[in-house]
Amino acid sequence: MSARRVATRWRATARSEWIKLWSVRSVPAVLEAALVVVVVGGFVLGAGYRSGWASLSPADQASFDPTFTSLRGVELAQLFVGALGVLAVTGEYATGLIRTTLAATPQRAQLFAVKALVLGAVVWALCTAAAFAAFALGQSQFTGPAPHASLGGPGVLRAVAGGGLFLTGVALLGLALGALTRSTPLGLAAFFGVLLVLPLVVGLLPSGVGDRIGPYLPGEAGSQLWHVRPPSPESLGPWQGAGLFALYVAAAGAAALVLLRRRDV
């Protein structure tokens, strides 16, 4: 097959994935919710620290990370972008649209790659913009005694850009889990289990056990990308953590791809 025909097919698949993504009623709403919590979170947390700065203990003041604090809305937004990733696949299975999709593009690996690219690009562009806005809003609150960060500071630009990158990875993890489970409730349960429940469970375990497992959990490893100061001595470095998180996402994606190629729809 000529290169031109291949390119045409990729373009056509990308266009159809784009149309499908935006024609689901809940998608714009979920994306808006994610952006709002990132930006508003930066402002609210910034204002909270400014008003209560004097009541922080000296140790907490010394370890304060203004960049991370202004980006913590990401922790809420990950729920929305992850659910979006799950729904991007399971919605098609629920309506039966997936049969049409695969009839139109029988190259399932290509379809899965384009789906991931379209979702990833949308989430990355919007969430990166939101992370920069949250950073600016948050830093505008840190006046007076609370230290504030600027994009030129060591690791700051990486952390702010990392907020958008992390959310992109979370969306892709949701996509992979959706493709693995093919059902909205199961996909959501798997996603929330891995990203939310697992760290809380590990946190309940006695110290010594929890501290050893904690840094290697997907969410904890990935979140190092948008920390400027490591939250604990056991934490992985930003790129180590991001690499481990990317490995988890890639493993889930590979498993989903294998099953997508083998299973009937």
Partner 1 sequence: MRENVTLSRRARAVLASEWIKISSLRSLRVTGLGALLFGVALAFLVCAGYHARWHALGVARQAAFQPVDTNLGFLQIAPLLFGVLGALVVTSEYGTGQIRGTFAATPQRPLVLAAKAVLVGGLGLVLSLVTVAGAFLVGQAQLAGAAPHASLGTPGAAGAVLGGALYLTLTALSGLLVGVLVRSTAVAVSTLAGVFLVLPVLVDSLPKGVVWRHTVPYLPSDLGLSLWHSRVDLLVRPLPAGLLFAGYVLVLGAAGLALLRVRDA
The whole-angstrom separation of Cα 157 and Cα 172 is 23
The yes or no reply on residue 71 touching partner 1 (CB under 8 A) is no
The whole-angstrom separation of Cα 222 and Cα 190 is 17
| Min separation Cβ 220 and partner 1, Å | 12
Buried-exposed string 77-102: b where 16+ CB fall within 10 A, e elsewhere: bbbbbbbbbbbbbbbbbeeeebeebb
| Min separation Cβ 97 and partner 1, Å | 15
Record the tokens describing residue 164, joined without a space: 């958008």
Which residues, 87 to 146, sit near partner 1 by CB under 8 A?
87, 94
- CB closer to partner 1, 72 vs 227: 72
Where does residue 182 fall: left (phi above 0), alpha (psi -120 to 50 degrees), or beta otherwise?
left
The whole-angstrom separation of Cα 21 and Cα 108 is 17
Using alpha carbons, select from 74, 108, 31 the residue that is nearest to residue 265: 108
Which member of 43, 80, 112, 248 binds partner 1 (CB under 8 A)?
Answer: 80
- Residue 131 CA to chain centroid, in angstroms? 12
- Binding mask of the shown chain, residues 190 to 219, with x at each position contacting partner 1 by CB under 8 A: --x---xx--xx--xxxxxx----------
The whole-angstrom separation of Cα 226 and Cα 92 is 33
Which member of 158, 184, 230, 234 binds partner 1 (CB under 8 A)?
Answer: 184
From the list 68-76, 128-136, 151-159, 242-250, the region that binds partner 1 by CB under 8 A is: 68-76
| Min separation Cβ 239 and partner 1, Å | 24
Which member of 9, 40, 75, 148 binds partner 1 (CB under 8 A)?
Answer: 75
Which member of 13, 38, 42, 49 binds partner 1 (CB under 8 A)?
Answer: 49
From the list 50-58, 106-114, 245-253, 255-263, the region that binds partner 1 by CB under 8 A is: 50-58
Residues 6+ apart with CB under 8 A from 132: 160
- CB closer to partner 1, 47 vs 250: 47
User: How crowded is residue 53: how many other Cβ atoms within 10 Å of its Cβ?
Assistant: 16
- CB closer to partner 1, 10 vs 53: 53
Phi, psi of 37, rounded to the nearest 5 degrees: -70, -30
From the list 100-108, 148-156, 180-188, 251-259, the region that binds partner 1 by CB under 8 A is: 180-188
Binding site for partner 1 (CB under 8 A): 26, 29-30, 37, 41, 45, 47-49, 51-56, 60, 72, 75-76, 79-80, 83, 86-87, 94, 184-185, 188, 192, 196-197, 200-201, 204-209
